[in-house]
Chains A and B, each alone.
Chain A
Amino acid sequence: MKIIYTDVLIIGGGLAGLRVATGVKQRGHAAVILTLVPPKRSHSAAAQGGMQASLANSKMGEGDNEDVHFSDTIKGSDWGADQKVARMFVHTAPKAIRELAAWGVPWSRVKKGSRTAIINAQKVTITEKDEAHGLITARDFGGTKKWRTCYTSDGTGHSMLYAMDNKAHQDKVEIHERLEAMSLITDEGRCYGAVARNLMTGELVAYISKATTIATGGYGRIYSVSTNAIICQGTGQALALETGIATLGNMEAIQFHPTAIVPVGILTTEGCRGDGGLLLDKDGYRFMPDYEPDKKELASRDVVSRRMTEHIRKGKGVKSRYGDHLWLDITILGRAHIEKNLREVKEICENFLGIDPAVDWIPVRPTQHYSMGGIRTKYTGESQTLKGLYSCGEAACWDLHGFNRLGGNSVSETVVSGMLVAEYISDFCDSYDSSIHIHSSKIEIALKKEKDKLETLLTNKHGEDAYVLRRRMEEIMMDKVGIFRNGKDLQEAVDELEELYKRSKNIEVFRSKSRAANPALVNAYRTQKMLKIALTVALGALLRTESRGAHSREDFPERDDENWLNRTITSWPNEGQTMPSVSYEKIEIDTMELPPGFRGYGKDLTKHHPDTKVRQEKVDAITEKLQAEGANRFEIQHALMPYLKKLPKKYRGTNERLGENV
């Protein structure tokens, strides 16, 4: 029996996990990272677009600050976000980016003078200030008032992840690669680490720690097509769920991106449509104007995704071996434009489709992209119900994104939450509270349990084929818990998923019986976990009879603040149950800085809560009064919703900006 003791166990070596590790390490605590793949291969590397932080250096970002970032984020979330968390986030984001700059990320910089850019297919001249020269620049991203998305060319996530991993090397963080966390070790309401399996040798190891952090990213792979890496399977959320104590939040909140290529689901940037690309159906007909006469192809992400799906459902999709799709036509932009401004799209087309987008149409369809839901935590990143268990990054729901996240807010979240959570964890580890009281027999039991599970899978007779179950689950999720949802489909989905879940208890690993490196075995136990996660998503979606953010019910098109301004909380308290337990957590309006309003797309279908009006009046009154007294924006903000005390001391400082506080 192999047991490894450490102060902080971190499951997941993406941006979030790595930042937690360096953070606790700098506070003097030992840290071990477990990861399925070398940290630099984590999915964080895929983020190309950028990271939001209100630096306001570039011309088009002028006037940006925490307040603007805050309101964009809350609107984006369709008021599902936790506003205090959002405040903490927007305040820390500039610090995070500056820290990364010092750690080596080669952020693209402002170049003084004029240049031409294309905005909404129009040529525009932008003149950058001299004094901003050499500071970090930003680009435009959907749903933001200012240009706020900082980037390194077309490889933001990659550069960030590499800088972070190198920093972890420097700080001598222990990283155990190709180790998969299989279950958490809990005792009397407290989490003490995890049982992990070495994916190369099959060895089971128990990691015992004061604090355990899950930073395993999203769960997009429960869908058949996803832009996510294939390791984004939600096993982290499943770990928490399977403790029976920890809870998950808003699992049904899933974001779709309109234009991922078929079959592999790789993202093509929104810039294609931004610059004038068109969506065509199987007859080469441009259908978007029929649905959205105003914005056409340029309606927001979720809207375009929904319209495309509608059109495919009408039988207008192009048939292919990999399912139906539509065409994205950018040939009209001309070769010169494509080779200069859409280089990355061109490369994807060449490498993955073998086509030339200057001549050929690109096969696309809406594809799962981001998981807003995750392990429900307090603002400190600690599980609301299981002491000693922390979570951050895409894996968590501390709840920054509510029901829809803004592009660029996600990598930003991973780093910011990593910074903050590392401090809270360190505080916990410094306290007397954190000492470990678990009997070694309990550890042995935990190990044995995992061992038995694996043995069962390998020795089962006449069992189920994991691939069959998994493929069916993916299809159900795609077809019935997809972009458009309705009661009938969701009910069918839940029923069938439950059936699949029951069958999954009897999975047999055929032929491939190795106890060491064995992909079939891995697929078997992950399928079991994924089915649980799929159930939480489907059930959450079925029960939520409203449309909010990315959760869009055809049978309930309006946002219903009166009944549904809350978070879905799922748990799995009893191992024997075949369906998760669901409860709800109210989102309080009377402490909001930005009371619920209209998000600004399409018609306002919101059913408002009576409290909203009350709170709005109060907010307006306070603001007016303080403004009259000559208070600055920080004082007004503080009066509306104080949050600064919640931040670790070292991150409370006011951010410098050109023309502000410098």
Chain B
Amino acid sequence: MSEIVKGRILKINILRFDPNEPKILPHMETFEIEEAYGMTLYIVLNMIREHHDNSLMFDFVCRAGICGSCSMLVNGRPTLACRTLTSKLDENISLAPLPLFKLIKDLSIYTGEWMRYLNEHLETWIHDQEQELNVDKLEERMDPDLADEIYELDRCVECGCCVAGCGTIQMRPNFKGAVGLNKVARYHLDPRDKRTDEEYYELVGDDDGVFGCMTLLGCEDVCPKDLPLQSKIAYLRRMMIKTAIKN
């Protein structure tokens, strides 16, 4: 049971840049913070902002590892900062914004716009030809295990870590990435979505879709929600080949 002990002095190196003031080039800035029990990067960054530099920009919303807002590169790897304990890192910690996404300032990036575009493009909603839903009626049944399986894939928080962790998408920004492919797999699995295999093929049956994935597995290894990304991309790939054969 921990008590108050004198903590290490952490050196936090942050990559700073403000696109609104492009004259000041991107540069690293170092802050020193005394570590305390249970300290997370959320606490560290807020301390920096409150006591060292109030212009430091970063994003936290839930600070509980559920909303996916606070993804950044911690020592080069994408992860959720709010649930990263400093005790698991060494004294020298480097923080940088996720690459690829639009930079707002310092560690703050605009994942929302990117994800919205992706969702609109992949039409990540239930496609159902039926007319008006009668909400008074009993709901449609679903196999309990299937519901759990869909939920497993529904857990994605759109944090963008898999995007930042994927070399393919860094090279070819049109690639839909694991986040997109996982979503397609999720709807493909869902019996409420009435899209045909051919329609799915149209969505991801090309080199911007599932055939673009080069199995680098960065996505799988950095996903903070531990989604079975590799396995679902494989599933989708098999489906797409089947569809191609069928036609």
Contact = CB atoms under 8 A, between A and B. Distances in A.
Contacts, number: 232
Contact of B57 (A137, A230, A517): A517
Interface string A344-355: 000010011110
A167 B82 CA distance: 29
B136 A102 contact: no
Interface stretch (B140-148, B195-203, B234-242): B140-148
A514 B142 contact: no
Q: Is the interface of B mostly helix, strand, loop or mixed?
A: loop
Given A134-B143, A262-B38, A46 B64 contact: yes
B61 A106 contact: no
Contact of B21 (A41, A363, A514, A654): A514
B182 interface: no
A661 to B, nearest CB: 8
A135 B148 contact: no
B215 to A, nearest CB: 27
A159 B154 contact: yes
B37 A320 contact: yes
B146 to A, nearest CB: 8
B10 interface: no
**Residue of A106, A133, A135, A654 with highest tally of chain B CB at under 10 A:** A106
B128 to A, nearest CB: 7
Contacts of B142: 106-107, 109, 134
Interface residues of B, number: 74
B211 interface: no
**Residue of B42, B55, B83, B193 with highest tally of chain A CB at under 10 A:** B55
B83 to A, nearest CB: 4
A351 B151 contact: no
B43 A264 contact: yes
Given A99-B133, A162-B154, A514 B20 contact: yes
A436 to B, nearest CB: 29
B13 interface: no
Contacts of B68: 40-41
Contacts of B87: 354
Interface stretch (B25-33, B90-98, B106-114, B165-173): B106-114
B43 to A, nearest CB: 7
A630 interface: no
A352 B144 contact: no
A356 B43 CA distance: 21
Interface string A580-599: 00000000000000000000
A166 B119 contact: yes
A361 interface: yes
B50 A200 contact: no
B244 interface: no
A321 B36 contact: yes
A133 B56 contact: no
B138 A135 contact: yes
A519 B54 contact: yes
A288 interface: no
B126 interface: yes
Given A158-B157, A658-B138, A320 B4 contact: yes
B214 interface: no
B62 A45 contact: yes
**Residue of B56, B66, B105 with highest tally of chain A CB at under 10 A:** B66
A653 B20 contact: no
A230 B85 CA distance: 19
Interface in B1-52: 1, 4, 18, 20-21, 36-38, 40, 42-43, 49-50
Interface string A256-268: 0000001110110
A102 B120 contact: no
Given A135-B141, A167-B125, A517 B18 contact: yes
A45 B66 contact: yes
A110 B139 contact: no
B207 interface: no
A152 B69 contact: no
B246 interface: no
**Residue of B36, B59, B63, B136 with highest tally of chain A CB at under 10 A:** B136
Contacts of A511: 53-55
A517 B62 CA distance: 20
A654 B136 contact: yes
Nearest to A509: B54
Contacts of B158: 38, 40
Given A102-B192, A178-B110, A360-B1, A169 B125 contact: yes
A231 interface: yes
A510 interface: yes
Q: Is the interface of A mostly helix, strand, loop or mixed?
A: loop
B8 to A, nearest CB: 14
A3 interface: no
Interface string B159-193: 00000000000000000000000000000001011
Interface string A640-662: 00000000000101111110001
Contact of B140 (A102, A201, A327): A102
B61 A37 contact: yes
Nearest to B83: A351
B136 A655 contact: yes
Contacts of A321: 4, 36-37
Interface string A221-263: 0000000011100000000000000000000000000000011
B66 A264 contact: no
B65 interface: yes
A42 B68 CA distance: 10
Contact of B144 (A110, A166, A266, A516): A110
Contact of B65 (A322, A351, A354, A662): A351
A263 B38 contact: yes
Contact of B69 (A37, A167, A266): A37
B64 A155 contact: no
B123 interface: yes
Contacts of B36: 321-322
A153 B20 contact: no
B139 A135 contact: yes
Contacts of A467: 50, 54
A95 B143 contact: no
B124 interface: yes
B88 A354 contact: yes
B217 interface: no
Contacts of A101: 139-140
A345 to B, nearest CB: 13
B150 interface: yes
Contact of A111 (B85, B108, B144): B144
Contacts of A214: none
B67 interface: yes
A264 B148 CA distance: 30
A108 B141 CA distance: 11
Contact of B4 (A162, A167, A178, A319): A319
Q: List 3 A-B pairs, minimum CB-CB distance, nearest first.
A: A38-B112, A134-B141, A512-B55
28 contacts: A37-B61, A43-B61, A98-B139, A102-B126, A102-B128, A102-B139, A103-B126, A106-B142, A106-B147, A108-B147, A135-B138, A166-B125, A170-B125, A175-B116, A177-B116, A202-B20, A229-B61, A230-B60, A264-B40, A264-B43, A264-B63, A348-B64, A353-B85, A511-B54, A511-B55, A516-B18, A516-B105, A520-B55
Given A98-B137, A101-B140, 6 more contacts: A134-B143, A135-B139, A353-B85, A509-B54, A519-B54, A520-B55
Interface of B: 1, 4, 18, 20-21, 36-38, 40, 42-43, 49-50, 53-57, 59-69, 82-83, 85, 87-88, 104-105, 108, 110-113, 115-116, 119-120, 123-126, 128, 133-145, 147-148, 150-151, 154-155, 157-158, 190, 192-193
